[in-house]
Amino acid sequence: MAAGAPPDTKEETMEPIPLSGGQLILTNPDDHTLLARDPSLIGGALAHDLDTLQKMRMTCPEVPVGLAAACPPLPEDRDVPLCERYIRTCRAAFKPFVQERPAFYYLHGAENFRALRAAVLAMTDLSGAALMAELPVDADGRMEDGTDVLAAVAVLQRIGVSTIILTAEESQDLTDALRIIAPYARVSLGVRCPAVWLLRDMELPNVELFVPLPHERARRLADLVRTRPHGRTVIPREVDDVALVSDGRDAHFIDWTTGISDEIPCDHELDERLIELEDEAPAAFKLLIEEEEDVITLEENLYMITRPVCLCAQSPELLEKALRVYAGLALYDGTWEQEERILKYFTEKYGLICM
pLDDT band (50, 70, 90) for residue 230: low
Q: d(Cα 303, Cα 321) in Å, to the nearest integer?
A: 18
In the chain, ranges of CATH 3.20.20.20 domains: 242-354
Torsion angle of the four alpha carbons 152, 157, 159, 163, in this order, in degrees rounded to the nearest 10 = 100
Phi, psi of 25 (to 5 degrees): -100, 120
pLDDT above 50: residue 245: yes
CA distances from 174 to 56, 184, 256 (A): 29, 16, 32
Cα–Cα dist 98/101, whole Å: 6
Count of Cβ atoms closer than 10 Å to residue 304 Cβ: 14
- Average pLDDT of the chain is 91
The hierarchical CATH code for the domain 23-227 is 3.20.20.330
Task: Write the single-letter amino acid at 159.
Answer: I
Is the predicted pLDDT of residue 220 greater than 80, yes or no?
yes
Q: Comparing C-alpha atoms, which of 354, 325, 353, 302 is closest to residue 87?
A: 325
Question: Where does the pLDDT of residue 269 fall: very low under 50, low under 70, confident under 90, or very high at 90 and above?
Answer: very high
**pLDDT, average across residues 68-81:** 94
End-to-end CA distance of the chain: 9
Band (pLDDT 50/70/90 cuts) for residue 10 is very low
Cα–Cα distance, 96 to 293 (Å, whole number): 33
Q: Mark 30-47 as b/e (b = at least 16 C-beta within 10 Å).
A: ebbebbeeeeebbbbbbb
231 φ, ψ (degrees, to nearest 5): -80, -10
Beta-bridge partners for 252: 245
pLDDT at residue 289 greater than cutoff 70: yes
The per-residue pLDDT for range 327-340, each reduced to its tens digit, is: 999 999 988 899 99
pLDDT of residue 20: 58
- Angstrom distances, CA of residue 193 to CA of 135, 175, 216, 328, 346: 12, 11, 10, 28, 35
CA 215 centroid distance within chain: 26
For residue 51, what are the CA distances in angstroms to 28, 133, 293? 12, 22, 45
DSSP 175-213: HHHHHHHTTT--SEEEE---THHHHTT---TTEEEE---
Cis upstream peptide for 75 (omega within 30°)? no
Asked if the model's pLDDT at residue 7 lies above 60, the reply is: no
Range of weakest confidence among 131-140, 231-240, 267-276, 317-326: 231-240
Report how far residue 265's alpha carbon sits from residue 267's, in angstroms, rounded to the nearest whole number: 6
Q: What are 46's strand-pairing partners?
A: 66
What is 242-354's CATH number, 3.20.20.140, 3.20.20.20, 1.10.274.10, 3.40.630.30? Answer: 3.20.20.20
Cα separation of 183 and 21, whole Å? Answer: 17
In the chain, residues under CATH classification 3.20.20.330 are: 23-227
Distance CA 27, CA 122 (A): 24
What does the pLDDT read at residue 281? 74
pLDDT of res. 313: 96
- Count of other CB atoms within 10 angstroms of residue 81: 16
Tell me which amino acid residue 115 is: A
User: CB count, 10 Å around CB of 77?
Assistant: 7
163 burial level (CB within 10 Å; 0-12, 13-18, 19+):
buried
The answer to whether residue 157 scores a pLDDT higher than 50 is yes
Q: Are 299 and 270 in contact (CB under 8 A)?
A: no
Alpha carbon distance 353, 77 (integer Å) = 32
Q: What is the dihedral of CA 99, 40, 160, 232, to 10 degrees?
A: -140
Largest CA distance in the chain: 65
